C-alpha cells in the first residue's frame, strides 16, 4: 500500500501538539526545512525538538512559538554563528521561554541509539569533567560494575516523530540515503513514527538493487512525502548544494524580532507549500545550486 501523502497531510495526521520531534539528524545536510515550515503554517505548539546540529531550522521554529523544550547539542546558524530567535527565547522569553536539556553531539547519538536498541541507557565517559551533566538532570553519574570507575549513564531518548530526509524512496517507505548519514539510522529506529521526505520517488526495484543504501525498515514509516528541494537551503548530496546566501540573509534579517517576523511572512506564511517556495527561489538561483560535477560510485556486484 502506498504511503505517499502531501506534507500538509503528513504533518496534520502524524504531528500533534506536544510531540517530540527528531529532525536535522544528518547534521548539516538534509535538514528538513519544508517539514519545519509546514509545522509553522499549521501553528503546532508545545513541541520538543531533538537533534544534533539543527542549523537554523530549530531557530525558525523557536521564533514562531512552536517549541517548549529543546533536547539538542547545538542551536544556531552554523555558518553565521548565533541563532537570534533562540537567544531571544533564552534571554528574554520572546516569543516564549524554553526548557533546554543540553547534550553533546556524541550523547544525543547515544540516547537515540539506546532507544533504537531497546536499552534503558548507554554508559559513556565522554562528558565526565564537563558542566553538561550538571545542566541536564537526565544524565546519571554512576560507577562501572567492572572496575568501579566513574561513568555517565545516558538514558534512552525515544522521539514521537523522526523526520528523515532522503535522496529517494519508493511509495512504501523503502529509502536510499547516502553521503553523511549523521545519526539518521539511530533516529529512525528510535522513533515511534517516521516521516520520510524524498527528493525522488522511484520503483521498489531501484531500492532493491542496492540494499546497503537502505536507511531503515519501511514498516516504521507512516508517511512518504515527495518534496523536491525539501531540504533547501541545506545540501542534498547528488542533488543540490548548500545555499550559503540564504543562511547569511536569515542571520542579518532576524537580528530583531520585527526582522524575523518579516522574514517569516515572506518565506513561510505567505508561501502555501514547497512548490510555491521553489518558484519564489527562481530558476536562476536553483540552477546555481544544482550539482555541477557528477561523481558516481563504482558499480557493486550483488551476484552469487
Compute CA distances 115 → 166, 269, 282, whole Å: 22, 35, 42
Give the pLDDT score at 167: 98
Q: What architecture does CATH give domain 7-104+158-289?
A: 3-Layer(aba) Sandwich (3.40)
pLDDT of residue 54: 80
Query: Please, what is the average pLDDT of the chain?
Result: 96
Count of helices and strands (H, E) across the chain = 12, 11
Q: Tens digit of pLDDT for each residue in 76-124?
A: 998 888 899 999 999 999 999 999 999 999 999 999 999 999 999 999 9
| pLDDT at residue 78, as a whole number | 87
Answer whether 183's CB lies under 8 Å from 108's CB.
yes
Name the pLDDT band for 133 (thresholds 50, 70, 90): very high
**pLDDT score for 132:** 93
Evaluate if pTM is beyond 0.85.
yes
User: Residue 248's pLDDT is what?
Assistant: 96
pLDDT one-digit tens code per residue, 175-219? 999 999 999 999 999 999 999 999 999 999 999 999 999 999 999
Alpha helices in the chain, H assignment, sequence order: 7-14, 33-41, 56-63, 84-92, 105-117, 132-135, 184-190, 204-208, 244-253, 257-264, 274-281, 283-289
pLDDT tens, position by position, 147-179? 999 999 999 999 999 999 999 999 999 999 999
How far apart are alpha carbons 207 and 1 in whole angstroms?
16
The span from the CA of 273 to the CA of 280, in Å, is: 11
For 32-52, how does the pLDDT look when each residue is reduced to its tens digit (9 = 90+)? 999 999 999 999 999 999 999
Q: Is the pLDDT of residue 53 over 90?
A: no
Domain with CATH 3.40.1080.10 in the chain: 7-104+158-289
Has residue 55 got a pLDDT over 90?
A: no
Q: How far apart are CA 240 and CA 33, in angstroms?
A: 14
- Residue pair 39/20 in contact (Cβ under 8 Å)? The answer is no
Q: What is the pLDDT of residues 218-249, one digit of tens each?
A: 999 999 999 999 999 999 999 999 999 999 99
Average pLDDT over residues 246-261: 97
Cβ 164 vs Cβ 195: under 8 Å: yes
Amino acid at each position: 500500500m502506498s504511503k505517499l501523502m502531501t506534507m500538509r497531510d503528513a504533518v496534520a495526521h502524524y504531528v500533534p501538539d506536544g510531540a517530540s520531534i527528531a529532525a536535522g539528524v544528518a547534521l548539516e545536510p538534509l535538514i528538513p526545512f519544508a517539514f519545519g515550515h509546514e509545522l509553522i503554517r499549521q501553528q503546532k505548539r508545545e513541541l520538543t525538538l531533538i537533534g544534533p546540529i539543527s542549523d537554523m531550522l530549530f531557530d525558525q521554529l523557536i521564533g514562531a512559538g512552536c517549541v517548549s523544550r529543546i533536547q539538542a547539542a547545538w542551536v544556531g546558524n552554523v555558518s553565521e554563528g548565533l541563532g537570534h530567535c533562540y537567544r531571544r527565547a533564552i534571554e528574554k522569553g520572546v516569543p516564549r521561554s524554553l526548557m533546554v536539556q543540553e547534550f553533546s553531539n556524541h550523547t544525543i547519538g547515544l540516547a537515540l541509539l539506546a532507544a533504537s536498541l531497546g536499552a534503558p541507557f548507554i554508559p559513556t565517559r565522554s562528558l565526565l569533567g564537563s558542566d553538561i551533566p550538571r545542566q541536564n538532570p537526565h544524565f546519571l553519574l554512576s560507577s562501572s560494575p567492572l572496575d568501579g570507575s566513574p561513568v555517565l549513564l545516558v538514558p534512552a531518548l525515544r522521539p514521537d516523530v523522526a523526520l528523515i530526509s532522503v535522496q529517494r524512496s519508493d511509495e512504501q517507505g523503502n529509502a536510499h540515503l547516502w553521503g553523511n548519514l549523521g545519526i539518521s539510522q539511530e533516529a529512525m529506529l528510535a522513533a515511534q513514527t517516521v516521516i520520510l521526505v524524498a527528493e525522488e520517488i522511484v520503483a521498489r526495484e531501484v531500492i532493491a538493487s542496492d540494499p546497503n543504501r537502505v536507511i531503515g525498515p519501511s514498516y516504521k514509516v507512516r508517511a512518504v512525502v515527495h518534496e523536491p528541494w525539501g531540504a533547501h537551503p541545506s545540501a542534498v548530496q547528488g542533488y543540490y548544494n548548500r545555499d550559503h546566501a540564504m543562511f547569511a540573509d536569515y542571520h542579518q534579517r532576524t537580528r530583531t524580532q520585527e526582522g524575523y517576523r518579516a522574514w517569516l511572512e515572506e518565506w513561510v506564511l505567505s508561501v502555501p507549500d514547497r512548490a510555491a517556495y521553489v518558484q519564489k527561489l527562481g530558476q536562476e538561483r536553483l540552477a546555481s545550486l544544482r550539482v555541477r560535477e557528477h561523481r558516481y560510485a563504482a558499480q557493486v556486484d550483488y551476484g552469487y
